[in-house]
Chain A
Amino acid sequence: MNQDAVLVTRLKHPDTQNQAFRELVSVYQERLYWHIRRIVLTHQNADDVLQETFIKVFRNIDGFKGESKLYSWMYRIATNEALSFLKRNSKIQGISGEEIQQNQLANLRADPYFDGDQAEYELQQAIAELPEKQRLVFNMKYFQEMKYEEISEILETSVGGLKASYHLAVKKVERHLKQEGIETTKTKD
Chain B
Amino acid sequence: MESNSGRSGFKVPKGYFEHLPDQIARRAGERLNSPGPAKTGFQTPEDYFETFGDRLEKRLQKKETPVRSLKWAKHFWIPAAAAAILLLLLWSPSSPAAAPEFGDINVEVLEAYLQTEEFELTPSELAENISLSDLAMEDVLDSAPAAQQIEEYLENNIESDEELYWEPNE
B160–A157 CB distance below 8 A: yes
Q: How far is the CB of B55 from chain A (nearest CB, A)?
A: 7
Q: In the complex, which of the residues B35, B55, B155 contacts A34, with contact meaning CB atoms closer than 8 Å?
A: B35
User: What 1/0 flags go to B7-48 for Cβ under 8 Å of A?
Assistant: 000000000000000000000000011011111111111001
Q: List chain A residues, Cβ under 8 A from B42.
A: 34, 37-38, 43, 113-114, 116
- Indicate if the CB atoms of B33 and A117 lie closer than 8 Å: no
Smallest distance from the beta carbon of A151 to chain B beta carbons, Å? 13
CB of B122 within 8 A of chain A? no
B68 at the interface (CB under 8 A from A): no
* A1-36 near B? 1/0 per residue, CB < 8 Å: 000000000000000000000100110011101100
Besides the known contacts A115-B43, A121-B41, 13 further A-B residue pairs in the complex with CB atoms under 8 A apart: A50-B52, A51-B59, A55-B59, A116-B40, A120-B40, A123-B40, A143-B36, A144-B35, A157-B162, A158-B162, A161-B161, A164-B161, A164-B162
Distance A116 CA – B40 CA, assembled complex (angstroms): 6
User: A58-B60, A164-B165 are contacts. A113–B157 as well, Cβ < 8 Å?
Assistant: no
Say whether A54 faces chain B, with CB atoms less than 8 Å apart.
yes
> CB of A134 within 8 A of chain B?
yes
Neighbouring A residues of B52 by C-beta, 8 Å: 25, 29, 50
Report A49-63 residues with CB < 8 Å from chain B CB.
50-51, 54-55, 58
A-side residues, CB < 8 A to B, are 22, 25-26, 29-31, 33-34, 37-38, 43, 47, 50-51, 54-55, 58, 91, 94, 113-117, 120-121, 123-124, 131, 133-134, 142-145, 157-158, 160-161, 164-165, 168
Measured between C-beta atoms, what is the minimum distance from A161 to chain B in Å? 4
Assess the A113–B36 pair: CB atoms within 8 A.
no
Chain A residues, Cβ within 8 Å of B63: 55
Is B145 engaged at the interface, CB distance under 8 Å to the other chain?
A: no
Is B116's CB within 8 Å of the partner chain A?
Answer: yes
Measured in the bound complex, the distance between the Cα atoms of B156 and A33 in whole Å is 27
Interface size class of B (residues with CB under 8 A): 20 to 34
Q: Are A144 and B41 in contact, with the CB atoms below 8 A? A: no
A54 to B52, CA, bound (A): 11
Interface of chain B, main secondary structure = helix
Complex-state Cα separation, A38 to B40, whole angstroms: 9
Nearest A residue to B36 via CB reads: A143
A38 to B42, CA, bound (A): 9
Whether A131 pairs with B60 at a CB distance below 8 angstroms is no
A142 to B55, CA, bound (A): 31
Taking the nearest CB of chain A, how far is it from the CB of B119, in angstroms?
Answer: 14
State which residues 118-170 of B face A: CB under 8 Å: 155-157, 160-162, 164-165
* Chain A residue contacts of B37, Cβ below 8 A: 142-143, 145
The contact of A33 among B39, B49, B165, by CB within 8 Å, is B49
Q: Is B53 an interface residue (CB 8 A)?
A: yes
Q: Tell whether B56 is near chain A: CB-to-CB under 8 Å.
A: yes
Is A33's CB under 8 angstroms from B44's CB?
yes
Answer whether A134 and B41 are a contact pair too, CB < 8 Å, given A25-B56, A51-B55, A58-B60.
Answer: no
